Amino acid sequence: MQDTISRLIDRYDATGRYLDRDAIDSLKAYFATGTARIRAASLITANAASLVRQAGSRLFDEVPDLIRPGGNAYTTRRYAACLRDMDYYLRYATYALVAADSYVLDERVLQGLRETYNSLGVPIGPTVQGIQILKELCMELVGERAEWLQAPFDHMSRVLSEVNI
């Protein structure tokens, strides 16, 4: 997994250039939000089980067909799988939050998820809705509406929404 710093350095090293003003400004922005990102990740991690339960409850209240017979979260096994997936999204969002980079989401979550969800016929709309609920709950918990906090959730939602099922 790479973070903002290593990806920036790799990009400049590949072109044989010294860090310029844009690179330095990017590093300054990364460090300026570092403490807040670590604090947010700590809060989210400490409350992960509760956040996932709340997000699941809200999602199933908003889309009750998911837990009715024939729905994708019908049966205990499928319900548990849905909550497990929400926990994965939340955990990897915290990794991306600390790294200030969405690469880990692409590499470890989203690439394989496309094929899996396509093969299983999992509806993307409720998945994206669940991720957005997680984002809202995290913003409430952290007490922050900053772009850096929303970015991992929005990235997952955007990439998943591009999948045509």
Per-residue pLDDT of the chain (165 residues), as tens digits, is 678 899 999 999 999 999 999 999 999 999 999 999 999 999 999 999 999 999 999 999 999 999 999 999 999 999 999 999 999 999 999 999 999 999 999 988 998 787 788 788 888 899 999 999 999 999 999 999 999 999 999 999 999 987 454
Distance CA 21, CA 19 (A): 7
What is the Cα–Cα distance from 129 to 135, expressed in whole angstroms? 10
Minimal CA–CA distance to 131: which of 13, 19, 1, 117?
117
Query: pTM score, two decimals?
Result: 0.90
For residue 48, give Cα distances in angstroms to 8, 97, 106, 134, 157.
30, 14, 21, 10, 19
- The domain ranges of the chain are 1-32, 33-161
Residue range 33-161 in CATH 1.10.10.10? no
